[in-house]
Amino acid sequence: MNDAEKTIDPKLTRLIHTAEAPGILYGSCLDPTTGNFYGGGADGHVYRMTTRPVETLAEKATAEKLWRHHENYVSSLAWLDGIVVSGSYDHKLVWTRPDGEGKIREINAHDGWVRKVVVIPGRNQLASIGDDMCFKLWDAVTGQAIHNCQGHASKTPEGFANSIYSLAASNSGKLIASADRTGVVMVWDIDTGKQIAKFRAETFYTYDAEKRARSIGGIRSLAFSPDGTRLALGGIGQVSNVDGFVGPCRVEVWDWQAEQRTFVGTDKHAAILNHIQYLPDSDLLVGAGGGDGGPLIAFWDLKAEVPLAKAKPKSHIQHFAYDDATQQLLAVGHAGLQVWAFTPAPTKESTAAKKG
């Protein structure tokens, strides 16, 4: 596939397939070889949707229920060379082979909810964050701990409980970033486990001392740019109604070495961006989530504050993966899994010709 064929047009974004699953799916991962897409969530189970070949996808189906190895919500999934690694609110990480061989390994990873687990590119290593306010690095083969890094404050400036919400690794496999409720971002050297940068994006944090005395908001998603020099942050801007969690969706891009913000993207849509990602080989940044304004997928080209394009899913999105082989966005959230394409909708003539 050449560069021209890999270029997508976000203005053509359309939903082509859904697979129902009970409750809310919070985490997802993609097998890039087969296109099998996995989601895990509120009922503790992991589900699977087959996304290839694209021509066989029905408009609506039911996701395949696979296994349950956790005692609580599955919060995050990661794909590691034929193995699904799951993190959960039960404090555990579990390694599972989806081909029927079952659970390989289970460890008590954090003294608190596991919020996120990611694979470090090019290494047999995993990273996780939990409500013990630690970032941990693991040997993905043995499950042994490599680094246990602390730096995020356990309390907000007003004395409320803090949380690390987001985690991302650079494509080089040398850096990892974590971000918390108060808008504090830390960048870590994976080899040494040392913190090498720290800054605060204050706009993502709201404290309402009058109505409810609550600390809310936070950076919910992170993504390194393809070259690793910039860090994108996603979440919600200043919240105007803490009861309804009402505020504008927001992304920021930072030069993390200089600790300077270089871009702001926002929209009047009241939503929180639960996941953001750079599309491959581009500066196109996509964010997805939901809120009082309804569900949302938005694209920024980093040239204008307003989105280049937006799409409205049927339900809120919690996490997604981009399948480079099919150029499709695969998402999980409320009520199941979704497949999004960047191609024109079929006409009556093309549909009739295909049936003929």
CATH number of residue 129's parent domain: 2.130.10.10
On whether the CB atoms of residues 90 and 104 are closer than 8 A, the answer is no
Q: Which two tokens stand for residue 351?
A: 């549909």
pLDDT of residue 5: 52
Structure tokens at 82: 């034929």
Q: Is residue 9 part of a domain?
A: no
In a domain, 13, yes or no: no
Q: What is the pLDDT of residue 57?
A: 78
14 domain residue, yes or no = no
* Span 302-339, pLDDT tens digits: 999 999 999 999 899 999 999 999 999 999 999 899 99
Number of folded domains in the chain? 1
Find residue 314's DSSP bridge partners.
Answer: none
* CB-CB neighbours of 42 under 10 Å: 17
Q: Which two tokens stand for residue 120?
A: 């470090």
**For residue 74, what are its two tokens?**
């599955």
**Domain limits at 272?**
21-355
Does some domain include residue 5?
Answer: no
pLDDT (0 to 100) of residue 213: 72
How far is Cα 5 from Cα 37, in angstroms, rounded to an integer?
A: 23
Q: Is position 16 within any domain? A: no
Backbone angles phi, psi at 55, to 5 degrees: -65, -20
Residue 6 confidence class, pLDDT cut points 50, 70, 90: low
Q: Which two tokens stand for residue 169?
A: 């690794």
In a domain, 199, yes or no: yes
DSSP state of 155: B
pLDDT band at 349 (very low <50, low <70, confident <90, very high): very low
The enclosing H or E element of 354 equals: helix 348-355
Does residue 66 belong to any structural domain of this protein?
Answer: yes
Q: Side-chain half-sphere of 243: how many Cα atoms within 13 Å?
A: 3
Q: Is residue 2 part of a domain?
A: no
pLDDT, residue 134, reads 95
Q: How many CA atoms lie within 13 A of 55 on its CB side?
A: 3
The Cα–Cα gap between 36 and 55 comes to: 15
Tell whether the model's pLDDT for residue 2 goes beyond 50: no
Identify the pLDDT of residue 342: 93
- Beta 296-300 vs 309-311: how paired, if at all? antiparallel
Please check the confidence at residue 149 and state whether its pLDDT lies above 90: yes
